[in-house]
Copies of this chain bind each other. A is one copy, B any other.
């Protein structure tokens, strides 16, 4: 039997997750709004730009960018329902940031790929998104390096 956390710890932990999530999404929406993007839009662009691996730096996904991700594959990574993601992708498509098309080697579904404009937009806003994460997630355990307790 795995150790069971006390109820108060669980509730405190859940409130912490809720607060960090809300604060970060709110800040991301505010920062990205002038670029016509929201927090979830960025997550989708990041998946399409290379999976969001911090070391990848916007590399094209496997397949050379021609047969990229199916909607369900993206949904699993960005924690959206397939219907919500379809609406989001439709909006990104109208803005010229992604395109949808059947993949010739796989007739099971529509694939989504970044356009050049989408890749440029991702590169433009990525530093802003990282700046938000640094501000909103650093609070809890960022300690002064030395000479503290002033």
Contact = CB atoms under 8 A, between A and B. Distances in A.
Interface of A: 2-5, 7-8, 10-15, 17-22, 24, 43, 52, 54-55, 78-79, 130, 133-134, 137-138, 142-145
A11 B79 contact: no
Nearest to A8: B54
B14 A24 contact: yes
Contacts of A24: 14, 17
Contacts of A17: 17, 20-21, 24, 137
Given A21-B21, A22-B79, A137 B14 contact: yes
A142 B5 contact: yes
Given A8-B55, A54-B8, A133-B14, A3 B79 contact: no
Query: Which 5 pairs between the two chains have the least Cβ-Cβ distance?
Result: A22-B79, A8-B54, A10-B133, A21-B21, A11-B54
12 contacts: A4-B134, A5-B137, A5-B142, A10-B133, A14-B24, A14-B133, A15-B52, A17-B17, A17-B24, A18-B21, A19-B79, A21-B21
